[in-house]
Amino acid sequence: MLIGLVGAPNKGKSTLFSAMTMNEVAIADYPFTTINPNLGIGYATRKCVHAEFGVKCNARNSLCVNGMRMFPINITDVAGLVEGAHEGKGMGNQFLNDLANAESLIIVVDASGTTDSTGNKTVSANPSDDIKMVNKELVQWLAGIIKKHMNTISRRNDGADALYEILAGFRATKDDIEASAKKAGLSTVKPNWTDESTLAFSDSLIKIIKPTIIAANKSDMKESEKNISALQKEFGKDNIIPCSGAIELALRKAAKTKVIDYTPGSNSFAWNDKNISQDRLNAIKYMEDFLKSKGTNVQELINAAAFRLLDNIVVYPVEDENKLTDHFGNVLPDGILIKRGSTALQLAEKIHTNIAKGMLYAVDARTKKRLGKDYVLQDNDVIKIVSAAK
């Protein structure tokens, strides 16, 4: 899974990326600090099921920290986007192409309104403008790719197939393409679309293949509260997550040096060492108060992108439904992220193709009931796959 961070220059994307991944990257208070995309690993978190069963897990494909299962997620931070990027302005299409494989996007804006659309200092920028600009550029980027191939596409009776051949690399399925064409009221039979029709199709498709959540960054600044309220009113409260990449990064660095014991996503931390300079002590106390009152919400961002936007659930496959172990005796070793609505057979396919081919049935570890291949998985299911395959 790949989550992309995108936004106008100097909105705190690189700081947020570092807070999510603890990767050391260039962070500076000027536009285009990031040129080449940064890549790192963050973690989506869910409460582990081991406590429910009264066992201690041996996490293998993930981590389990203080009862929280942590699933590794690839995160990329791309160069800042300026209006007209699809025409080559700023970093041009480079940043857009870096997002081709992203499954969901986090649009990062400066909630304080202290940087303009080009990343320069100001006093009253409207972060709503950045959101609209990013969405517009994404649509124009996709439309531009389609326009380049329109002569070829328009000669194909099955235009959906032709579009799929072009857009598969952007994580678009044929079903996505057909649904987007239908929503835009367009035919996919020899689709010689106008520029306006292509934009309408692209607007519909980008919402499906690159679902977004908005990070209202720099929420620790006093100017942010009014802007965050306005953003939530305009775009919907669930779509705006106030966050502070700077405070989260500082907390994680303090935890790394053992000054505090902090679990990402928590609204508190334990002090391990107060024998530090007064300035640093004051800074950490300020962060402690901020964490209790508002929270950095950086972990919430990752979870929203991984679970809510992509509609994933967690399923735990085991070989022994009584001991909840794998072949080697590891308890609840793997947590699998899988699309809501997936079946037991699809879970088997994720484990191994041979297991799926030889699958006979599944077993619910809670009820010990036999389940068919078409059983629709539920969140936090613990499932044994019974297969003829060795």
pLDDT tens digits along 131-149: 999 999 999 989 999 999 9
User: What are the residues whose beta carbons fall under 8 Å from the beta carbon of 174, sequence distance 6 or more?
Assistant: 160, 161, 164
The residue-averaged pLDDT of 161-185 equals 93
Whether residue 202 is found in the same domain as residue 334: no
CATH of the domain at 349: 3.10.20.30
- What's the token pair of residue 254? 């303090």
Q: Is it the case that residue 296 has pLDDT exceeding 50?
A: yes
Supply the pLDDT for residue 26: 42
Cβ atoms of 33 and 27 closer than 8 Å: yes
CATH of the domain at 216: 1.10.8.470
- The one-letter amino acid code at 36 reads N
Does residue 82 form part of some domain?
yes
Whether residue 100 is found in the same domain as residue 225: yes
Supply the pLDDT for residue 316: 98
Does residue 244 form part of some domain?
no
Q: Tell me the β-bridge partners of 314.
A: 337
Supply the pLDDT for residue 38: 81
- Write out the residue range of the structural domain in which residue 335 sits: 312-387
Does residue 270 form part of some domain?
no
Which helix (DSSP H) or strand (DSSP E) does residue 180 occupy?
helix 174-183
User: 318 vs 325, 332, 333, 335, 366, CA distance in Å?
Assistant: 5, 7, 8, 10, 12
User: 185 vs 26, 201, 270, CA distance in Å?
Assistant: 45, 9, 57
Dump the DSSP string for 76-140: EEPPP--TTGGGT-TTTHHHHHHTTT-SEEEEEEETT--B-TTS-B-S---HHHHHHHHHHHHHH
Number of domains in the chain: 2
